[in-house]
């Protein structure tokens, strides 16, 4: 039986001298002597490997180029990675890829091949003229990877034509120093989207967090039968921005925002979850909520659409399940021996924002704020408001103290820091309540917060216009309506009970009021250091969260 090679079942000694057409011919002959099912089983893909279909695949290869690639962590970032890519570039005539597969190894000679799955995002028939509705998205979950290891990979739609090489690195085992980056609100059509992704890459994070609002395929969240403003081709534009500029090597860990609610066949998330396979936890009652841990930090991606008093497209759809799940997750991370020191929450809408556009969302604040207090959540990262704002440490809905730029916060005693990092590329919101500097506009109106009426919870309530004067005062520590990227450096404890820290910096590239002009030397616009006495390290070694 021929050996499996990175090039399908072509002996390695032949590959270096073969052109793609010769590979086609070789494989066509080989599959002509084999059962279709056997050939399919070896690669773990659908049974499509007949000689006739191989000739079809050769034709498809010319019209179905390998699209952009992007990656995301699986449930265990030290051992699992999702690889995804588009099978085509939205030509409008895309056909299911005959043999989607990836090759993987410690260098660009690879050494193993495995099959991938392909899925097509459903689009209602009333949406027409959008070539992306026929795009197929492929993905595979790589498991059993070694921790702290760089892998090279390539992808293919047919096992013959392969992408260029790319590489990623798994999470280190146990505790380590690492950097992650974060922002929200990118927008495929924004001229600053690509520079902001390149800024992420230049910061060399272990992974990047997206606080919702990725492609903006919908101008506002909409559901069938309303398809107003739905342009799914924006997803392919977006993936073309993030993939080659960063996400093909940097895990892109995404939360859903209101713009991810699309007129599809479910609660609106089919497009998001098909394109972004992540370790979603359906026990949350949501298809987009998930969490993962990296070193001594837990990251929880929530769905604010469930609770937002402003964006009501998915009001109350988990029936309280998400908030119950959050309480259990936080209790687990804060339990003795969990191995977790810091807890970071990522969602789209802001619990606290003094921007006049969108502003504070009392729906999230009221439901989750008490849990963030009880379990000492260290950092909440959001977007939605297209600007940057950091709060002073908050507890019980009020700041506990001032935390100037460059300061240090002890979350265990001071409370939770909320950061809006919505300057990820889309047009900025430049007006704030009160007096401002830095070229931003101010408003003499008192800060407002969105609240529910008709009930204390999303179930049975309804969002009212921003007409409630906010009772929280003095929460804003730093704000500026600019494009910016959070860069967070986590320092692991060096001894049991030693200090662990997160240096949180807002990196601001050179820019005009409407566009990024250079990412070469980003300035540190704002910073704060969060510190804790570590519980994650014992004399016997790092604790590991038991699940």
- B/e letters for 345-382, b = 16+ CB within 10 Å, e = fewer, are bbbbbbbbbbbbbbbbbbbbbbbbbebbeebbbbbbbb
At closest approach, how far in Å is the CB of 377 from Fe ion?
Answer: 23
Which secondary-structure segment (H or E) carries 193? helix 193-202
Give 6 or 423: the residue with its C-beta nearer to Fe ion: 423
At closest approach, how far in Å is the CB of 16 from Fe ion?
Answer: 49
Neighbour tally for 282: CB within 10 Å:
11
At closest approach, how far in Å is the CB of 212 from Fe ion?
Answer: 7
Pairing of strands 136-142, 117-120: antiparallel
Give 185 or 440: the residue with its C-beta nearer to Fe ion: 185
Q: Which residue spans within 143-246 are E strands per DSSP?
A: 150-156, 166-169, 178-183, 207-210
Pairing of strands 207-210, 252-254: parallel
Residue 523 neighbours by CB under 8 Å, 6+ apart:
507, 508
- Are residues 504 and 496 in contact, defined by beta-carbon separation less than 8 angstroms? no
Residue 517 neighbours by CB under 8 Å, 6+ apart:
509, 510, 511
d(CA 393, CA 417): 5
Give 213 or 366: the residue with its C-beta nearer to Fe ion: 213
d(CA 195, CA 485): 11
At closest approach, how far in Å is the CB of 239 from Fe ion?
Answer: 18
**Alpha helices for 375-493 (secondary structure H):** 411-414
d(CA 251, CA 204): 11
Give 210 or 247: the residue with its C-beta nearer to Fe ion: 210
Give 417 or 426: the residue with its C-beta nearer to Fe ion: 426
Give 160 or 209: the residue with its C-beta nearer to Fe ion: 209
Give 257 or 362: the residue with its C-beta nearer to Fe ion: 257
d(CA 242, CA 215): 10
At closest approach, how far in Å is the CB of 184 from Fe ion?
Answer: 7
At closest approach, how far in Å is the CB of 84 from Fe ion?
Answer: 23
Report the half-sphere exposure of 504 (CA within 13 A, side-chain side).
Answer: 28
At closest approach, how far in Å is the CB of 259 from Fe ion?
Answer: 6
Neighbour tally for 46: CB within 10 Å:
15
Tokens of 184: 């929200």
d(CA 447, CA 20): 63
At closest approach, how far in Å is the CB of 363 from Fe ion?
Answer: 17
Give 185 or 389: the residue with its C-beta nearer to Fe ion: 185
Give 185 or 306: the residue with its C-beta nearer to Fe ion: 185
At closest approach, how far in Å is the CB of 53 from Fe ion?
Answer: 43
Q: What does residue 326 show for φ and ψ, rounded to 5 degrees?
A: -60, -45
Give 24 or 358: the residue with its C-beta nearer to Fe ion: 358
Q: How many residues does the chain have?
A: 547
At closest approach, how far in Å is the CB of 25 from Fe ion?
Answer: 50
Give 74 or 423: the residue with its C-beta nearer to Fe ion: 423
Binding region for Fe ion (CB under 5 A): 185, 213
Neighbour tally for 227: CB within 10 Å:
20
Q: Which of 68, 77, 198 is CA-nearest to residue 485?
A: 198
At closest approach, how far in Å is the CB of 185 from Fe ion?
Answer: 4
């Amino acid at each position: 039986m021929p050996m499996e090679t990175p090039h399908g079942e072509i002996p390695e000694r032949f590959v270096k001298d073969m052109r793609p057409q010769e590979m086609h011919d070789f494989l066509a002959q080989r599959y002509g002597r084999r059962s279709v099912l056997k050939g399919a089983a070896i690669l773990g893909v659908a049974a499509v490997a007949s000689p006739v279909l191989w000739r079809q695949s050769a034709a498809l290869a010319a019209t179905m180029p390998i699209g952009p690639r992007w990656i995301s962590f699986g449930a265990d970032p030290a051992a699992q990675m999702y690889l995804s890519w588009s099978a085509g570039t939205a030509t409008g005539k895309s056909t299911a890829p005959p043999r989607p597969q990836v090759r993987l190894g410690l260098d660009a000679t690879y050494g193993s091949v495995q099959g991938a799955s392909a899925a097509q995002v459903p689009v209602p028939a009333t949406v027409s003229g959008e070539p992306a509705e026929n795009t197929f998205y492929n993905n595979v979950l790589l498991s059993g990877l070694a921790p702290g290891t760089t892998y090279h990979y390539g992808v293919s739609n047919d096992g013959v034509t392969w992408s260029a090489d790319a590489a990623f690195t798994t999470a280190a085992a146990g505790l380590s120093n690492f950097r992650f980056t974060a922002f929200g609100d990118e927008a495929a059509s924004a001229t600053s989207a690509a520079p902001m992704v390149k800024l992420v890459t230049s910061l060399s994070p272990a992974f990047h967090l997206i606080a919702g609002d990725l492609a903006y395929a919908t101008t506002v969240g909409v559901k069938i039968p309303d398809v107003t403003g739905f342009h799914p081709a924006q997803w392919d534009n977006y993936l073309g921005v993030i993939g080659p500029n960063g996400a093909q090597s940097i895990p892109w860990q995404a939360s859903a925002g209101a713009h991810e609610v699309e007129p599809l066949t479910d609660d609106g998330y089919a497009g998001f979850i098909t394109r972004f396979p992540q370790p979603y936890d359906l026990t949350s009652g949501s298809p987009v909520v998930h969490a993962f841990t990296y070193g001594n930090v837990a990251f929880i991606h929530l769905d604010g659409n469930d609770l937002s008093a402003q964006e009501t497209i998915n009001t109350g759809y988990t029936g309280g399940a998400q908030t119950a799940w959050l309480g259990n997750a936080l209790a687990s991370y804060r339990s003795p021996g969990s191995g977790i020191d810091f807890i970071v929450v990522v969602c789209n809408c802001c619990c606290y924002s003094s921007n006049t556009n969108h502003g504070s969302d009392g729906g999230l604040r009221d439901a989750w704020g008490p849990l963030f207090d009880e379990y000492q959540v260290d950092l909440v990262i959001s977007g939605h408001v297209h600007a940057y704002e950091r709060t002073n440490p908050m507890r019980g809905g009020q700041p506990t103290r001032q935390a100037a730029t460059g300061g240090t916060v002890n979350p265990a005693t001071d409370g939770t820091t909320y950061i809006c990092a919505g300057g990820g590329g889309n047009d900025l919101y430049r007006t704030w309540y009160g007096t401002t500097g830095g070229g931003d506009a101010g408003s003499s109106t008192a800060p407002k917060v969105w609240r529910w009426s008709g009930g204390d919870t999303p179930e049975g309530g309804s969002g009212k216009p921003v007409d409630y004067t906010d009772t929280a005062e003095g929460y804003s520590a730093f704000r500026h309506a600019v494009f910016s990227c959070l860069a967070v450096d986590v320092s692991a404890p060096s001894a049991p009970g030693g200090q662990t820290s997160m240096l949180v910096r807002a990196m601001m590239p050179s820019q005009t009021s409407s566009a990024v002009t250079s990412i070469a030397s980003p300035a540190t616009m704002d910073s704060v250091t969060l510190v804790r006495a570590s519980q994650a390290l014992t004399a016997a070694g790092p604790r590991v969260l038991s699940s």
